[in-house]
Structure 1
Amino acid sequence: MQTSDITDPIFLQAVEAIDGGDTVLLQKLITDNPRLITDKLSTTEEGYFKDPYLLWFVADNPIRHEKLPANIVAIINLLVTEIKAKAPGIAQQQLDYTLGLVATGRIPRESDMQIAMMDALINAGAQPGGGIGALAHGNTEAANYLIERGGKLTLGVAIGLHRMDDVDRLLQTATADEKLAALTAAAFYGMADMVKFLLEQGVGPNGYPSPNSGFHSHAMPLHQAVWSGSMETVKLLVKAGARLDVADKIYGGTPLGWAEYAPSEVGSEDALQSFTEIAAYLKASSNN
């Protein structure tokens, strides 16, 4: 969603006040229009940002501006105070979902305000999740912080954060899907040591993590290893029997297809070289 997609003029003013860090205007708009706190914005948007509450816009996730106002924590605190006063029955829902948007967002991380924003939401009552969503979006610091604040530690997150004592413990009771999600997470980050460890523990390299796992469920571990640019990780999975002919569920690409597409998304010569070498290796492996 872009700001220009908002057709409700009052809601648009409130979103622009958030984006501009204008607490005075935001407070006036809410005082004059309590529905800004109690009602969702009706949209034609599909996906995770369909019919958003005003609070959701603090995360810039989906990305609209590539930046956040310097006083975004004050904006959050203002909105939370109003929500608890005017809509206590839906406060928990708003807080929890906004925390997820912040924890998985790129702009909060790049703005160096992700932890402060998460802190404000958790202090206000948001329930910390297990961190797998944050991990799936490259936000390792956010994932670790959620665990520190009481989120449930899962095998995938323990693997992603290299918490080996926890990995050994959680592996004993993990389901097959949790193990697959953990392997996919390790592959996503190009953690060859963790991939090797899980394969040695008998985790199979083929399959898609379930949507309930919280990690990317559209691709297999080998796809994610390719995208990480780690040749060592790719080789470990291929030698363990990872299928080379299976397409991901969104783009319809095989691991080789991902390797061939990746250079269009990277800028450095080193990354380009890595993907070129991975593509050549996968082609050779397919012919054997």
Structure 2
Amino acid sequence: MPQSAITDAIFQKAVDAVSSGDLGELQHLLAWHPHLASYRHHTPDDGYFKQPYLLWFIADNPVEHDHLPENITGIAEVIIKTIRQHAPELLQEQMDYALGLVATGRVPREHGVQLDLIDLLIDNGAKPGSGIGALAHNNIDAAQKLIDRGGDLTLAAAVCLRRTDWLPALLEHSNPAERQVAFVAAAFYGYADMLSLLLKHGVDIDALPGKGYGFHSHATALHQAVSSGSLEAVKVLVEAGADTNIPDLIYHGTPLGWAVYMQNTGETGERDKEKFALIETYLKDK
């Protein structure tokens, strides 16, 4: 939600103080306007950031400034203290969702504050969950932190974190849905060995998982292996019978189309372009 859409002047000042790291201004605003602890900015549906509380701005997720102040953990601590004092009945809801925004965010990771924010939120009662959201956004360290702090030990997490010591027991007690999520996750990270393992335990190699799986929920495991840049992972899937002609559900691109696109996006470095060129050549031969 663009901050320009905020119409409440006091709330806007508080959001600005969070974004700039102005702790003194934030403390002043919270002292004179304690309703900020429970206030939600009501807007039309804005996806996952609709009707945000002030606390939810600590992650810059969705990205608005592409920046977080160095003292963001102290900023968050002051807001949490105010919520605990003036709106304790809303504390759990605000904390849990703030943790999700931090754990899945790119900006907290890139600014080196993600793990400290996770610790602060969990120390104040946020529930760590499973870490799947963090893993689906390439936040490996955040996922490990969540699990270290009591998060669920899922099969997908074990695969993504390459915790082979967890895998036998988790596989033994897994259901088909859990194995499918782990399979998609292994492809997303390009882990050829994990794909080979999971193929032996009953997964749908061509499934389009849809919403709820995280990762690229609109694409097959083969698409995801292509996007990882791992030719080895692509080979494992193709040689196991993956259909190379299935389009994804959003862009309608085949895995070959994804390989071509990845070479031409401005975000791809020269070394990665070479990886995707090799994948393109391989898929053209199939």
Q: Tell me which moved more, 12-21 or 190-199.
A: 190-199
The match for 1:22 is 22
C-alpha deviation, 1:265, in angstroms = 4.2
The DSSP-based 3-state class of the residue aligned with 2:194 is helix
Question: 1:124-135 alignment to 2 at 5 Å?
Answer: 124-135=124-135
Q: TM (normalized to structure 2)?
A: 0.95
CA contact (8 A) 1:209 1:215 kept: no
Residue 284, structure 1, aligned to residue 261, structure 2: no
The match for 1:106 is 106
TM-superposition CA deviations, 1:162-197 (whole Å, max 9, x none): 111211111112121211111111111111111122
Residue 39, structure 1, aligned to residue 43, structure 2: no
What is the alpha-carbon distance in structure 1 between the residues aligned to residue 191 and residue 50 of structure 2? 34
C-alpha deviation, 1:215, in angstroms = 4.4
C-alpha deviation, 1:75, in angstroms = 0.6
Q: Tell me which moved more, 244-253 or 222-231.
A: 244-253
C-alpha deviation, 1:120, in angstroms = 0.4
The match for 2:154 is 154
Residue 191, structure 1, aligned to residue 205, structure 2: no
The match for 1:252 is 252
The match for 2:95 is 95
The DSSP-based 3-state class of the residue aligned with 1:62 is coil
TM-superposition CA deviations, 1:205-261 (whole Å, max 9, x none): 121335344544222111110100111101111111212222222332221221121
Letter in 2 for 1:283: K
Structure 1: state its 5+ residue gaps.
none
Letter in 2 for 1:123: D
What is the total number of aligned residue pairs between the two structures? 285
Q: Compared with structure 1, are the counterparts of its residues 165 and 209 closer, same or farther at alpha carbon in structure 2 (3 Å cutoff)?
A: farther
The match for 1:120 is 120
The match for 2:276 is 275
What is the alpha-carbon distance in structure 2 between the residues aligned to residue 265 and residue 35 of structure 1? 45
Letter in 2 for 1:226: V
Q: TM (normalized to structure 1)?
A: 0.94
What is the alpha-carbon distance in structure 2 between the residues aligned to residue 261 and residue 43 of structure 1? 36
Q: Tell me which moved more, 202-211 or 4-13.
A: 202-211
RMSD: 1.5
C-alpha deviation, 1:70, in angstroms = 0.8
CA contact (8 A) 2:188 2:215 kept: no
CA contact (8 A) 1:128 1:149 kept: yes
C-alpha deviation, 1:32, in angstroms = 2.5
CA contact (8 A) 2:35 2:86 kept: no
CA contact (8 A) 1:177 1:210 kept: no
The DSSP-based 3-state class of the residue aligned with 2:96 is helix
The DSSP-based 3-state class of the residue aligned with 2:285 is helix
What is the alpha-carbon distance in structure 1 between the residues aligned to residue 215 and residue 96 of structure 2? 18
TM-superposition CA deviations, 1:84-116 (whole Å, max 9, x none): 111111110000000011011111111111110
Q: Tell me which moved more, 154-163 or 61-70.
A: 61-70
What is the alpha-carbon distance in structure 2 between the residues aligned to residue 253 and residue 82 of structure 1? 49
TM-superposition CA deviations, 1:122-176 (whole Å, max 9, x none): 0000000111110110011110111110011110000001111211111112121
